[in-house]
Structure 1
Amino acid sequence: MGLVGNLMMEMEIKSPVEEFFHGWIDHATLFSKALPDGLHKSEVHEGDGKSPGSINSYSYVLKGDAALTTKARVEDIDEENKSLKFEVFDGHIGEIYSKFKAYVQIFAKDGKNFVKFTLEYEKLNEEIPEPINYMELAAKFNKGMDAHLVQAK
């Protein structure tokens, strides 16, 4: 196994593409609503939390772990392509990855709506596992946000 890698998942969603995309833009506000177990929290540190350059911190739980923290900077929001880019750093992720970027794209295909989530990472050493647990957290967030948006209608 190498130190550099990419993981990608694509999930069908029930929410309209535009609503889900704007849910991701406002993800800091929706974080605890999409993952409502009381352990998942987000706080804005710089900017408005929604625009490029904004930095948010997160408290979250991975399978079998205690509460962990990290920060993410919004790098880009592309309204036309319904995509977002985040650089994740500090906290738990900063301790084990020298590079950790998340890419999100929401799109329609064959009459259905989808979210594509990609992680691009570089581990600090070979012993660090692939970030499958972060893909599971992203899947849980996407499912929770989709359910929240559908229920809010």
Structure 2
Amino acid sequence: MGLKGKLISQTEIKGCKDLFHEMFKNKPHHLPNVAPQTIQAIDLHEGNWGTVDAVINCNFTVEGQEKVVKVSIEDIDEEKRLVTYNIFEGNLIEQFKAFKVTLHIENEEENNLVIWTIQYEKQNEDVSEPFSYLQMAVNLTKDVDAHHVNQ
């Protein structure tokens, strides 16, 4: 495979799509309470929650390894329930020159689908495709959905 790539997943949720979008747009700092095994901390570094150009510090675990990254919110589209995050600092950048994650929620008939898209550019050919990060996003989707359904 080349250095640039894109991974996409779709996961159906049972809970409210608006609550789901709200969590990732305005309340990501609540994620450590919902999925502590995956997200250990999310703190606002610059700007305001839920605004483009806000900068967030995020500590998470993927495949048993702790990661610390700095993320900017690059785009928010309320109508499409879309948030795009750009990871620009931290130990993920050791492997990837670029790493952008988009969360989008769609309605398909009676179903709400959470779509995660990861666009990336690897530092070199020795770096593996970021499948584990996509799986982490799917697991996080399931945790947040279960949290909302059980409330």
Query: Under a length normalisation based on structure 2, what TM-score does the superposition of the two structures give?
Result: 0.93
Query: Cα offset for 1:27?
Result: 4.4
Say which is worse superposed, 83-92 or 117-126, in terms of deviation: 83-92
State the 4+ residue runs in structure 1 displaced beyond 3 angstroms.
Answer: none
Unaligned runs of 5+ in 1: none
The letter for the 2-side match of 1:77 is I
**In the aligned structure 2, how far is the partner of 1:141 from the partner of 1:107?**
17
Structure 2 residue aligned with 1:48:
48
Superposition CA RMSD, Å: 1.5
Structure 2 residue aligned with 1:149:
148
Kept in 2, the 8 Å contact 1:33–1:145? The answer is: no
Structure 2 residue aligned with 1:35:
35
Query: Under a length normalisation based on structure 1, what TM-score does the superposition of the two structures give?
Result: 0.92
Say which is worse superposed, 55-64 or 124-133, in terms of deviation: 55-64
Residue by residue over 1:83-116, the C-alpha shift from the partner in whole angstroms, topping out at 9 and shown as x without a partner, is 1111112112111111111111112112011100
Q: Could you tell me the percent identity over the aligned residues?
A: 29
Q: How does 1:7-86 map to 2 (within 5 A)?
A: 7-37=7-37, 40-65=40-65, 67-86=66-85
The answer on 1:117 being equivalent to 2:116 is yes
Query: Cα offset for 1:38?
Result: 8.2
Structure 1 SS opposite 2:53: coil
Kept in 1, the 8 Å contact 2:46–2:55? The answer is: yes
Structure 2 residue aligned with 1:94:
93
CA gap 1:9/1:75 in 2 versus in 1, 3 angstroms: same
Query: Cα offset for 1:81?
Result: 1.2
Residue by residue over 1:10-64, the C-alpha shift from the partner in whole angstroms, topping out at 9 and shown as x without a partner, is 0000112211111221342222023123862111100123210101111111113
Kept in 1, the 8 Å contact 2:38–2:136? The answer is: no
Which structure is higher in strand share?
A: 2
Query: Cα offset for 1:143?
Result: 1.0
Between Structure 1 and Structure 2, how many residues are aligned? Answer: 151
Unaligned runs of 5+ in 2: none
**In the aligned structure 2, how far is the partner of 1:17 from the partner of 1:39?**
21
